[in-house]
Structure 1
Amino acid sequence: MTAHPRTRKSLAAATAATAALALAAGCASKTEDSSDAGDKDKKVFTVGYSQANNAEPYRAQLNKQLEYFAKKYDNLKLLPIADAKQDNARQVSQVQNFIQQKVDVLIVSPNEPDPLTPAVEQACQSKIPVIILDRDVKTDCYSSFIGGDNYQIGKQAGEAAVKALPDGGSVGEIRGLLSTDPQKQRHKGFMDALKGHDDIKVVEQREGKWLQPEGTKIMQQWLARGTKIDLVYAHNDPMAIGAQSAAAGAGAKGKDIKFIGIDGLAIPDGGIRAVQQGKLIGTYLYPTGAEEAAKTASELAAGKKVEKKQTLDTVEITKDNAEDIYKQYDMSQKVD
């Protein structure tokens, strides 16, 4: 990151401010806004964000929302978002690059926890406040974790499956990336909800890596080998929509299968619209956390204390409330 020229006097003032901030909150150095040189008190803090995979609709929407909400804070400058493309080595490199740039706040949505943990600890040791967004890491050396309650979402999905199969039935589960905590919690919650309902069996389980084409392929394989499936529980909407598309293309073999997803994005090809169109019987809002992340970054940059863990609420989305939920969360006029 290229520094702007400063006078010796302003440099001394900035250095003093940096020292005070570091003592107060362990933050990295402040950067003076060169576009407002007349305002000596106005500071702009750089924010680096490493995203796990921009190709996932949920994460693409998260990026748009974070860019939108970051602009609400005069003290933040969000650097171009780094896309790890589901590549752990790439993401570690991105985080290390942000550390070398001495960003004032670092946001990370880990692709997988184990590989990213040392990089997050490195940022922490460099006195850079770190926000972990959506997926956890195996260290508590960060400033704040922001994410949904994946266990509760999985449990609600399981309860919905029980209601959808009053006479029992067979379930196929398309799981996310197996090493990630959201996948583990969504699976555990779902299975716990099925306890005591011995007439409902999970007969198929596959890793879909959060990707719609994987959902399509997995469903095609299940149907091709004649597995009887009454309901598919997918750990996100793209995989559920992909599976539903495969079932719809299979004619009679797939026409009675029900589908449940997670994410509930208010976008034209998202889960809420899929519920309205009858492709899914339900989905669950998994908030992006972008608004909370921008607010937390601003507070951290200013040396304020923040909550160590911020758990975001979910909403069950069915045909009864899908239209209202879409209107409530539609940000198309803001983020496009």
Structure 2
Amino acid sequence: MKKAIAIHTALLTIFLVTIVSGNISSAERKFKIGITHYGLKNEYTILLSKAQRETAAKFNVDLDIFDGNYDVKTQYDNFDYMIAQRYDAIIFTPVDVDAMADAVEKAVRNGIPVIGVNTQVNSDKLTSYIGSNDISAGEMEMTYLAKKMGGRGNIVIIEGPIGSSAQVQRRRGIHNVLARYPKIKVLSEKTANWSRSEGFTLMENWLKAFPDKIQGVCGHNDEMALGAIKALERRGLKVPVVGVDGIYDGLQAIKERRLTATCFQDAQGQGSMSVEVAVKFLKGEKVAKNYWIPFELVTAENVAQYFARRK
């Protein structure tokens, strides 16, 4: 009888320990989340990372952020490391819309959910995506530029890294608008890889190739647009220049009437939500397939209200 009671007590103990440990693993244990961004050399991904770190601290999550360095192999290596180290979830902004799909599928095959943020990837294996509609950003900035130019003139377009979803979709949005303005001519359209210094160099080259012909500049982001402005100012030139993101330096340039307009992209909202969604999913809660945060047009008339949102 005593032996039977002892066995029953032992089994009950094992059962209770299993329940308790199960509850901890699904709801209370500390999660380890890894993030790889396409690059960490521009203000927007720095802002995104800051929001992600703050939100991770709020949820008591261990968070590591890796730099994809604008290179597919480097970002793929980031994925391989996180898979090997058994991270609970991966959040990322892909270097390339197509090339990084294999990395997503590899992580999922290994039981690791992947959350996309800010930049899209061609994979249906993402658990969720948090971002803004880049086609609408291209349409928004080009519409404003076209109106500023009176619907006619010559422009150059500074693109993001070729193959990134933001480059592909912002380009589509820009050309959607250009189709309605046949009197606006595109002199050239090249990448400056989200870089202010590359934007400066590209604009210098264009000013030599098209002397006195450039009447507007459309940048896929603010960093490159600011580089173009520096090249224009060196020659004493002033033409309307637009960008995307609403980084602090971009807002300051609008306030100073140097940058004509930008499309504010909510880094705080995207970064914070990406971590929140990952944690919710890891706790077994239901998450949506997509979360869309709209762009907002920023001009000299409303720029003052955006500075506080970039701190």
Question: Residue in 1 aligned with 2:135?
Answer: 151
- Residue 111 of structure 2 is matched in structure 1 by 127
CA–CA distance in structure 1, aligned partners of residues 285 and 279 of structure 2:
9
Residue in structure 1 matched with residue 157 of structure 2 by the alignment: 173
Candidates 272, 290, 298, aligned match of 1:291 = 272
> 1-side partners of 2:164 and 2:271: how far apart?
20
Distance 2:141 2:151 in 1: 17
Tell me by how many angstroms 1:145 deviates.
Answer: 1.0
Q: Is 1:257 aligned to 2:257, yes or no?
A: no
Match of 1:103 in 2: 87
TM-score by length of 2: 0.89
Corresponding residue pairs, total? 296
Cα 1:47–1:9 shift into 2, 3 Å: farther
Question: Which protein is richer in helix relative to its size?
Answer: 2
Letter in 1 for 2:194: W
Check 1:285–1:141 CA distance in 2 against 1; reply closer, same or farther (3 A cut). Answer: same
Q: Which residue of 2 aligns with 1:65?
A: 51
Aligned pair partner of 1:307 in 276, 285, 288: 288
Matches within 5 A, 1:1-336: 13=18, 17=22, 30=25, 42-74=28-60, 76-78=61-63, 80-166=64-150, 168-227=152-211, 228-251=213-236, 255-265=237-247, 267=248, 270-288=249-267, 289-327=270-308, 329-331=309-311
Give, in angstroms, the shift of residue 240 of structure 1: 0.1
1:92 partner letter: Y
Structure whose alpha-carbon radius of gyration is higher: 2
Gaps of 5+ in 2: 1-12
Instruction: Report the Cα offset of residue 13 of structure 1.
Output: 3.4
Secondary structure of 1:278's counterpart equals coil
8 Å contact 2:52–2:272 — kept in the other structure? yes
Structure 1: where are the runs of 5+ without partners? Answer: 1-7, 22-29, 32-40, 332-336
Deviations 1:44-92 (A, max 9, x none): 1111111111111111111111111221213x221x2111111211111
Distance (Å, rounded) in 1 between the aligned partners of 2:195 and 2:20 = 47
Displacement, 1:262? 0.4
2: CA distance, partners of 1:196 / 1:283: 21
> Partners in 2 of 1:225 and 1:313 — Cα distance?
37
Structure 2 counterpart of 1:72, one-letter code: K
CA RMSD in angstroms comes to: 2.2
Partner Cα separation in structure 1 for residue 290 and residue 100 of structure 2 = 19
**Matched residues, percent identical?**
26
Compared with structure 1, are the counterparts of its residues 45 and 226 closer, same or farther at alpha carbon in structure 2 (3 Å cutoff)? same
User: Equivalents in 1 of 2:84, 2:277: separation in Å?
Assistant: 22
